[in-house]
Structure 1
Amino acid sequence: MSKRAAMETEPLEKQHVKINNEASEDDSEGMEVTPHTDNLNVPRSNLDISRSSSTSSLGSSSQNDELGKNGNNPEETVSNDSEAVSEEVQKVPSRDIPAMNVPEKIILCIDLSEEPNYTPFKLGDGTKYAPLYMIKRVTEIFIHSKNSINKNHEFALVVLQSDTAAWLRDFTNDPSEIISVLEDMSEIQQGDTFDLSALFDVISDHVSLPQVSEPNATPPPFAVRVVLLYSRSHCVPKFVHGQESISLLLSSDYFTLDILYIHEDPSEANKCEEIFSALDDLDDRGFSYVLDVPRNTTKLHDNMAKLLGHPLQRPVQKVAYYKLEFQEVR
């Protein structure tokens, strides 16, 4: 799915996220961020450099299919091309701005659409939940976690309706105000199309991007981030009325677009891969995190946890590394 080749190399930066992931595969309960500054030995074979390297089932399958069509074994091709690895590492984007933990203005964009005959999320005890219920649950955990990291982070709420978007709650640093609105949200019928123009027009109308006179030396007063949770498996999002708003937002070093795509298992009956590709193409700068997850409760929590890192401090997704490697301390 991703346009960037998958390769293996050592990360240029290391940011480790500790996931509360000791439960069964479908019984995850929480997320915890563990700041990391030590130098750990990271095995070369453990890192997959790709646009959505962390857990992207769609991105990985698409890359392997492409390699297979060329008569290559994906694993052998990925691991043996050292020259391509070096070239890919050199392409890792960077921003020449201070990597400071400035307050974030986070716009949470929640998809309210309900798939016909959807597959529910299933916990280890057999309990089943609708996708929107689980999306609201991980969003609540995300809000509380970010608030515990920095009380000055602010949150706003946008909802994706049938074919457009609406600004539902303005910025606040009080988690309870956002969560109370989340609890009252309910599913709506899915439309045939979704207009990305409307989504980013709404965001642009409510957000002012920070201006810094000396961007190389002075941190911004705040950073703006959109966290889009898209959950449609049959509706490919499109720009119906132009891309001016998203282009304006992405022109700022202090704006980041992150996407978590929650979908059915890909099949000929749905458009999951086409949808992922459309979402993956929204930001060609390489600073976004674009993740996807099927109906797997543990992976849903894990992927939402990967969005906790500050966008001005975290490594780009190509080199993000989430496994802990233990060393003997002497």
Structure 2
Amino acid sequence: METDRAVVIGGGASRYALKPTRINSEDILICVDVDAESMAEMKTTGTNGRPLTRMECVKQAIILFIHNKLSINPDHRFAFATLSKSAAWLKKDFTSDAASAIASLRGLSATKSSGRADLTQLFRVAAHEAKISRAQNRILRVILIYCRSSVRPTHEWPLKQKLFTLDVMYLHDKPSPDNCPQDVYDSLVDAVERVSEYEGYIFESGQGLARSVFKPMSILLSHPQQRCAQDDLDIPKSLAKKVPVVEATSADDNQIPQAMSQ
């Protein structure tokens, strides 16, 4: 009997055995939006007492992500790109050396407002790198961190060409007459669905809190080949205090409550 089918055991119980599947090491291309909106202040303050910018918070989250990802598998590798009007390399060579990867982030800084955001070049680069990764029995993932509240990203990409997986973290302002974060989000969802080989995740936040950056990045530690559908995610769990359920004790109907003694 094949190992990927149910095996019936005596007594009617059943046991499932799955064929072993190789989980490939990842090449992760992290692309950070460097539009002026990436310098928007958040509600979280840094050690110097001033508010963190989105860019500062994103850098810290990426550093933590790299260390945690390498602790899971030291064979994962990282490269970096920036997004202005289009994508450009920040560090082209993929590396599994944490110090080298983190050093690349020091050169990451915001520019002036770009006016538009075309993801086509990012996808072309990712597709090219994905073919190289596949030849080495690896897979490629792109993590896009996008910060614009009123500029919908565009792309031109074949519907059936899915060579890599795209994750997105979208940080935006609260909706107002001057922006359209919902339209931007919808465009990003379309991009994830169009290009992703495995299940791509997208997270968004307009809260301006550091945890709205760190929580999604912790979920993105999950390997694309081991993910459930995003609709089935039930993490991160709420940290709200749960009130224990106390079972009510049934009292004798004829019993008269007595006053507590002083």
For the criterion TM > 0.5, the same-fold answer is yes
Identity among equivalent positions (%) equals 30
1:117-156 → structure 2 map (5 Å cutoff)? 118-123=40-45, 127-156=50-79
| Superposed CA offset, 1:274-307 (max 9, x none) | 1100001113378110111221111211111110
Mapped to 1, the partners of 2:230 and 2:173 lie a distance apart of 23
Q: Aligned pair 1:104/2:18, yes or no?
A: no
Mapped to 2, the partners of 1:204 and 1:149 lie a distance apart of 25
AA at the equivalent of 1:271? C
> Where does structure 2 lack aligned partners over 5 or more consecutive residues?
1-17, 243-262
AA at the equivalent of 2:81? V
AA at the equivalent of 2:173? E
| Superposed CA offset, 1:168-201 (max 9, x none) | 2121111111211101211101211111112212
Q: Aligned pair 1:243/2:157, yes or no?
A: yes
The alpha-carbon distance between structure 1 residues 136 and 211, as it changes in their structure 2 partners (threshold 3 A), is: closer
Matched position secondary structure for 1:157: strand
Matched residue, 1:205: 128
AA at the equivalent of 1:171? F
1:115-264 → structure 2 map (5 Å cutoff)? 115=37, 118-123=40-45, 127-161=50-84, 163-169=85-91, 170-208=93-131, 221-239=137-155, 242-244=156-158, 247-248=160-161, 250=162, 252=163, 255-264=164-173
The alpha-carbon distance between structure 1 residues 200 and 208, as it changes in their structure 2 partners (threshold 3 A), is: same
Matched position secondary structure for 1:151: coil
Mapped to 2, the partners of 1:211 and 1:191 lie a distance apart of 34
The alpha-carbon distance between structure 1 residues 98 and 139, as it changes in their structure 2 partners (threshold 3 A), is: farther
Paired residues, what number?
216
The alpha-carbon distance between structure 1 residues 116 and 171, as it changes in their structure 2 partners (threshold 3 A), is: closer
Mapped to 2, the partners of 1:208 and 1:121 lie a distance apart of 41
Matched residue, 2:215: 302
AA at the equivalent of 2:151? C
Matched position secondary structure for 1:309: coil
What RMSD over aligned residues (CA atoms) do the two structures have, in Å?
2.9
Mapped to 2, the partners of 1:211 and 1:136 lie a distance apart of 28
Verify the 8 A CA contact 1:119 1:264 in the aligned structure 2. no
1:142 CA displacement: 0.5
Matched residue, 1:48: none
Alignment match of 1:265 (pick from 157, 169, 174)? 174
Q: Aligned pair 1:320/2:242, yes or no?
A: no
> Where does structure 1 lack aligned partners over 5 or more consecutive residues?
1-95, 213-219
Alignment match of 1:287 (pick from 175, 196, 199)? 199
Determine which structure has more spread, i.e. the larger CA radius of gyration. Answer: 2
Mapped to 2, the partners of 1:139 and 1:149 lie a distance apart of 15
Verify the 8 A CA contact 1:100 1:312 in the aligned structure 2. no
